[in-house]
Structure formats: C-alpha cells, structure tokens
C-alpha cells in the first residue's frame, strides 16, 4: 500500500488525536480526584469530567479526519519532490 499525502495526514492526525485523548483523560481523572478539595459540587464535577471525556473521544475522531484532508496541502509538495 502506497503512502499517499492523505494517508500521511491521517496517520499524523491519528497520533495527535491519541495524544490529545490521553491528555484530556488524564486531566479529567485529576479533576475527579481533587474535586473534594474544591468548592464545586459533585454534580458540577461530573459534568466537567463528562465534557472532557466527550472532547477526548471527539479528538480521536476529528483529528484523523482533519489530517486526511489537510495531508495533501502539507505533504503534497514533499511527496512530489521525493518522486512519489
């Protein structure tokens, strides 16, 4: 299978999405652990943590799609100059 600019963008987007997922999940877990120390109610904390989970899942989907379409703009000239 040939690595086209679109596929390179998809791969880079997937890596960025995975890193973003890990970071957002980590932040959500830390917020949940430290929630009793703050003035936020348990319901507010659950809403914010739920938002972080939703954003993390969204990044896993959105970044590869963006990368797929942005790949030809970013990697197109590189592939052409390399003879691909």
Its domain, for residue 37, covers 5-81
How many Cα atoms within 13 Å fall on the side-chain side of residue 14? 7
Q: What is the pLDDT of residue 69?
A: 93
Averaged pLDDT in 10-residue chunks for the chain of 84 residues: 87 96 93 78 85 94 95 76 55
What total of structural domains would you count in the chain? Answer: 1
Instruction: Give the C-alpha separation, 1 to 4, whole Å.
Output: 9
75 Cβ contact list (under 8 Å, min separation 6): 5, 8, 9
E strands along the chain, which residues? none
Q: Are 13 and 59 in contact (CB under 8 A)?
A: no
User: Considering the entire predicted model, what is its pTM?
Assistant: 0.80
Q: Are 79 and 4 in contact (CB under 8 A)?
A: yes
């Amino acid at each position: 299978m040939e690595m086209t600019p679109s596929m390179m963008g998809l791969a880079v987007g997937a890596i960025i999405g995975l890193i973003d997922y890990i970071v957002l999940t980590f932040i959500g877990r830390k917020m949940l652990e430290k929630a009793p120390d703050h003035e936020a109610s348990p319901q507010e904390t659950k809403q914010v943590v739920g938002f972080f989970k939703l954003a993390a899942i969204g990044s896993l989907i959105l970044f590869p799609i963006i990368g797929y379409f942005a790949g030809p703009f970013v990697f197109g000239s590189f592939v052409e100059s390399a003879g691909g």
